[in-house]
Amino acid sequence: MNVDMQTENNKNPESNQTKDQTATEGAAHAGASAVDSDEGADLQDEKIRSLEEEVQDAKDKYLRTLAEMDNMRRRQERERQDLLKYASEKLLQDLLPVLDSFEKATLAGGAEAGNAIVEGIRMVHKQLTHVLENNGLKAVESVGKPFDPNLHQAIQRIDDDGVEQETVKDEFQRGYTLNGRLIRPSMVSVLVPSKAGPG
């Protein structure tokens, strides 16, 4: 019986070789599948990383756009507030000479208590001043105050030993601010500390 099997094996040497080849190919295929699955996993990881980067970029762009829109909204709100606050600036600037004329008229009228015209002018001046103050207009205090180039315009400088810093002496035209913004500087004379040292 052993002889028969041996004879049969000898008869089919191609069959044994085919079995060996199939086994070898199966092992090679299994190895190739393992390599393919590693490459597939690497590709998948790379795709995931790429998608994560895209998501992060989109998120960054969204946050930047949101911040820009918020800044734009705030800027527009600030501009709207400024527009409301200073909308009457041109009108008030046009009214300042009228206010100046009223002040001159009350000074020219003197201190006559019984003069009805002077009293009428004073009342109208007071009323006009009150209306303008309610709309944000405020007179700049000048006489006796330290000279401030942001508020005062010096048209005369006088050397004086009695002052230690530049001080407003006289006011020739009153200055005004509108809601804290200067719309007309005060025209003033300024006392300046004398430069002459001890001789």
> Which pLDDT tens digit goes with each residue over 132-166?
899 889 999 998 899 999 999 999 898 888 888 89
> Which pLDDT tens digit goes with each residue over 108-140?
766 565 678 888 888 888 999 999 899 889 999
| pTM to 2 decimal places | 0.58
The DSSP H or E segment spanning 192 is strand 186-193
Which residue stretches of the chain are H helix?
Answer: 2-11, 13-86, 89-108, 116-134
Over its C-alpha atoms, the chain yields an Rg (Å, rounded) of 48
> Which pLDDT tens digit goes with each residue over 28-72?
555 555 556 677 778 888 889 999 999 999 999 999 999 999 999
The Cα 8–Cα 128 span in angstroms is 132
Check: CB of residue 142 under 8 Å from CB of residue 175.
yes
